[in-house]
Structure formats: C-alpha cells, structure tokens
C-alpha cells in the first residue's frame, strides 16, 4: 500500500511539473512616430521553456524595429 501511494504521488508531481498553460509575452519598443508601444503576444498551452523560446524570438524580431526593444514573459 505504501508503494502504491508513493507511486501515485510521484506521478502527480511529474504531471504538475510538465504542466502546460497560457503565457503572455509583453514586448515594448519605440516606433519612432508615436513613441513607446507595448504589444502582448499570447502563447497558448505551452510549457514555460517553450513559451520563453517564443518570447525570445519575438524579442529578436522587435529589435529589428528598435534595438532597445524588450520582451518579457508573464
């Protein structure tokens, strides 16, 4: 019985650690016309590491418009 409870607990912990959820990547840049602009990019049903990769890619893209652009995963 102890091993069964331990096994179920272990599966529950592993299941929680690989949880996928919705993330928001907020990018801020200066468009040179109206000033500072913020854009939210919704990242749906992704792990944190996958969402961070998407946000980092968005950061590279926005830096083409404004070298001082920043993107932050929330």
pTM: 0.69
Are the C-beta atoms of 45 and 20 separated by less than 8 Å?
yes
How far from the centroid of its chain's Cα atoms is residue 2's Cα? 38
Predicted confidence at residue 17, as pLDDT, reads 53
Q: How many Cα atoms within 13 Å fall on the side-chain side of residue 20?
A: 6
**pLDDT (0 to 100) of residue 18:** 60
CB atoms within 10 A of CB 49: 7
Residue range 26-73, pLDDT digits in tens: 999 998 888 899 999 999 999 999 999 999 999 999 999 899 999 999
Q: What is the pLDDT of residue 73?
A: 96
pLDDT in tens, 16-28: 456 899 999 999 9
Nearby residues of 18 by Cβ (< 8 Å), 6 or more positions away: 47
């Amino acid at each position: 019985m102890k091993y069964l409870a331990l096994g179920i607990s272990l599966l529950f912990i592993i299941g929680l650690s690989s949880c996928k959820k919705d993330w928001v990547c907020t990018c801020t840049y200066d468009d040179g016309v109206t000033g500072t602009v913020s854009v939210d990019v919704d990242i749906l049903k992704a792990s944190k590491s996958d969402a961070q990769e998407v946000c980092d890619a968005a950061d590279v893209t926005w830096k083409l418009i404004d070298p001082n652009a920043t993107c932050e995963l929330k």
